Chains A and B, each alone.
Chain A
Amino acid sequence: MVEPGAARTCRRPREPERAGPPRAAMNFLRGVMGGPSAGAQPSGAETIQKLCDRVASSTLLDDRRDAVRALKSLSKKYRLEVGFQAMEHLINVLQTDRSDSEIIGYTLDTLFNIVSNDLEEEEQEENSQKQVDDLGRQFTEIFIKQQENVTLLLTFLEEFDFQVRWPGVKLLTSLLKQQGPQVQQIILVSPMGVSRLMDLLADSREVIRNDGVLLLQQLTKSNAAIQKIVAFENAFERLLDIVTDEGNSDGGIVVEDCLLLLQNLLKNNNSNQNFFKEGSYIQRMKPWFEVGDDNSGWSAQKVTNLHLMLQLVRVLVSPTNPPGATSSCQKTMFHCGLLQQLCTILMATGVPADILTETINTVSEVIRGCQINQDYFASVNAPSNPPRSAIVVLLMSMVNERQPFVLRCAVLYCFQCFLYKNQKGQGEIVSTLLPSTIDATGNSVSAGQLLCGGLFSTDSLSNWCAAVALAHALQDNATLKEQLLRVQLATSIGNPPVSLLQQCTNILSQGDKIDRRGSKVQTRVGLLMLLCTWLSDCPIAVTHFLHNSANIPFLTGQIAENLGEEEQLVQGLCALLLGICIYYNDNSLENCRKEKLKQLIEKRIGKENFIEKLGFISKHELYSRAAQKPQPSFSSPDHMMFDHEFTKLVKELEGIITKAIYKSSEEDKQEEEVKKTLEQHDNIVTHYKKVIREQDQQLEELKQKVNTLKSQNEQLQTAVTQQMSQIQQHKDQYNLLKVQLGKDNQHHTSHSNTLQMNGIQPEEISKLRQEIEELKNKHEVLQGQLREKDSVIENMKSLQSETGTNEQSSQITAGLEHGNELHRELEALRIQIQSQSLDISKLQSEKQELLQQMGLFRTTPYCWGKAKNTASVPALGDSSAVIAAKNSELEGRLLQEIKELKNDVKALSEEKALLKQHLDSVNSTVAVLQNEKSKLQQEVAESKKEQDDLLVLLADQDQKILALKNKLKELGEPVEDEDDIESGDQGDEDEEEEGEEED
């Protein structure tokens, strides 16, 4: 096998002519060894040994460098020898001579030559490829045995020097090619190993950058961990930048290399795919497919690039990816216009067939199971006149036997993907076949017409493709399965129309008679798959099928026959179809009830035989291949036998049918019953569901009602609380008023009657009782008083006024006297003060005189001094001094006196104040006493008045008594003494008082 990478390296003149041709090296060697020895030239091995010795022992760097250069030039021709003998020394050089980039460069080149198989491939006539592989692998193994060697190599890759970096890149790439997993592991565990290799993409020297891409290709091969690290280090960004810079698909092989690396990073790596999508890199793919309509040139490179670009899109939306991941990528592709761009390629002219095919495959996977994308695809029109839908154009290619096989497969795939989980699309396709909607004008070809044409053409491939396409239009869609039964075909003029279903079975049974291009088995397999899909899960279609009495004998005949190996598949499918007819039979046809068909199998075929034939399908080699992935891809048209979706159906039905066949009729009956009861249950359940739904509605209504009521209630409650508070306020006010009223009652007892009317409380009754009691007491007291007063009156009569009052008035007069005394004292003191102040004024005038005298004295000596000279002056001075002394004495006395007087005055005024106070208090007592006096006088006056009243009363009573006595006397009663009359008087009084109270 030729490594694709290796082949490319050969195509490219990458390596500049740096090393001289081997011959020159030999000449050089001869020179080194001191001229040619006579005749015997040293063998390669000997020379290499000598060079190795020099590398190992020479102390001069120049020497060692020359030796390594010589080894390098020999390494291609004497690869084996150099490899075995010099490897160790070369590694030593790498470790010790790091500082000299030249020798390192030669060493790396030499090692590359030893390890790499690329160069040997050019001389394949010498060695077989296998040996070469072994050699490179062995040397690689030796080199990487010491992990440090790889780590060391990684450090050389960080060297900026071209001489070191470039051969380093190439050597590491070779090592990875030879022993990928091991070298990957070493790089992975060396710190920042992968990250450092990523820096190669940033190298401004294109050679290194491009070889860096190749290195990363090898590095990322089937190692998810490394792929993720490379992606983390912004590989997508950098690679996409390179692709853009190089002109997208018009770019050279570098673009191809970048695309291959991108594929390595994305294929089956969900994490990286997610990162690619999240990094908005899908959007950057769109310009890749902006291929102009001019198509001036489709170079081989461009075709390759575009092919890889399409594959990259497919990697992101592969049906094998997690469903969520694929669908989000699909949506992004629609929203960024990538799908639209792909569809323009689809409809463009002049696109090379393989690009077109791959584009169709790509579009298929971009729309598969994604409704918006499928809808968009259905709306795409070809730029023809009149415009035709892309689907029709593609179907035309599918049923056209002149188109390439892969293209036809691609179209089928596209059609399947369009219909996958797309009921709307299925409906649209089937509707083009239905009588009501068929375009009678015949202007345009419909998808349905094309499919029917394919179904009944003489090309088996078209038959198969059309049958499968139609099966996909019915997949999981019971309504359309029933709808399609309505389709009638006009086969030939004069004959009655035949249903599509019947036509299919007719072709199946008469297939042998029609001359066909291709395999007869293919057509029959295709039709059987269509029928199986159509009839499964559709009892009406089963009834239709059974209605034609020829069908069942045909199937049993096929199954029962002992045919060759290639017919086994058809037998298996016939068994499956018969099984479906049993399992999905609703027993509506009396002749073809379940048990009858089963009896038929038992009689004609035998249960075991039937199951065995059924098993042929899933045991088929092509079956398992088709089951792997949705895309129909067949190595040759002959292998086109199974459809992916159909394999799913087989998996589902095989077990069910086997069970159904083995089941006895009793069990069947039981099952029927169970089904019936189940149906009943279903009915009951639906009934209850309905009830529940109604109740739900009611509940909802009630809930709403409750809510409104609640809110109303709340409103009302707030109103109530408001009113309550108001009431409380009123109550409080009322209570206040009541209290006030109560007070008023106490104050104005006279009004009590009217006020008590408002509240007829027991308290008030008790109050009244109390009052009565009090009044009674008062009455008694008054009686007592009356008695006292009587006696007082007696006394009064005898004593008369003076006595009581005199005592009191004497007290007052005493107070007044005391006050008068004080007044007098005060007057005396005032007089004293006046006299003293007089004294003071006298003294002051005296003092004034003296001072005047003194002033005279003082002026006279001065005059005298002038007149009589100094003799008299001392005397005068003496006298004046005496006077002054006397003066001062006087002054002091005066002052003292004044002081004393002042003190006296002060004391006096204090006394005065005291006296005044005293006077005031006395005055107040006087006033009090006078008050008392007046009160007493009043009392006296009152008592006098009372006395007078009583006296009047007594007089009245006396008169009454007298009158009564007289009456009694008149009546003839004996009149008693005066004492008795008195007691009788008292009783009368009582009566009178009681009478008064009652008023």
Chain B
Amino acid sequence: MSSHPRRRRGVLPGFNLALGFTLVYLGAIVLLPLCALVIRSAALTVQQFWDVVTAPRLMASYRLSFGASFIAAAINTVFGLLLAWVLTRYRFPGRRIVDALVDLPFALPTAVAGIALTALYSNNGWIGRYLEPLGIKVAYTPVGVLIALVFIGLPFVVRTVQPVLEDLERELEEAAATLGATPWQVFSRVIFPVLLPALTTGFTLAFARAIGEYGSVIFIAGNMPMVSEITPLIIVTKLEQYDYTGAAAVATVMLLVSFSLILAINALQSWNRRRYTRQD
């Protein structure tokens, strides 16, 4: 009965209402404002746009934002794997507390993390005072940016790898062990390849989060142009100087990067799925 196309969706009620509300809400809160951003930066000619987004100060900020995000994600990939491994495989006092607190960087407001890290790593801070005699300055340098990004990125790797480790079949390891493999061989040849997609996903997530991060970084960074100024801060600076169009242009570049990372993460996810989806 083509006069009732709606019915093909089955008998549950409320589809039109629920979908309609969802679309209107998303459209008003998310889509329309994002369009405003892109349209705003379209006020520039291509040459102007290019000049704005490739200004030397911005280039320096890209290097810092992307470089520090990359290194932070890499550090967290190594130590996140270690933490996930220890949390799933071993029993030790305080394990449950560690497990619960791994999410703290996600739950702690970024401004709080920012001032706490600054206090720790400044010259007279708990950690900074031991680094200073060694000639290592953290607060108000690019290293400080790195520290903040390491903090916020940790849960992403741990929480992506942990379920995979829990899911890993013990028989696999035992089979390898009965074939004479050493524990290290079991890890590097049996476990690590299985973890690789999750590790890559965790890395990308931590990286994507770090690029956009603002609150935890600006306190510890010192924000010196060309040295320790991250890209999101430049958007804020332009805004404070009423350079709305310039801010929109830089934001558009960052949006493009975010979208590419979304695509990358989606591709990684389907890689995960293709390899490991269980057919029950």
Partners in one complex: no
B binding-site residues for A, Cβ under 8 Å = none
A interface residues, Cβ below 8 angstroms from B: none
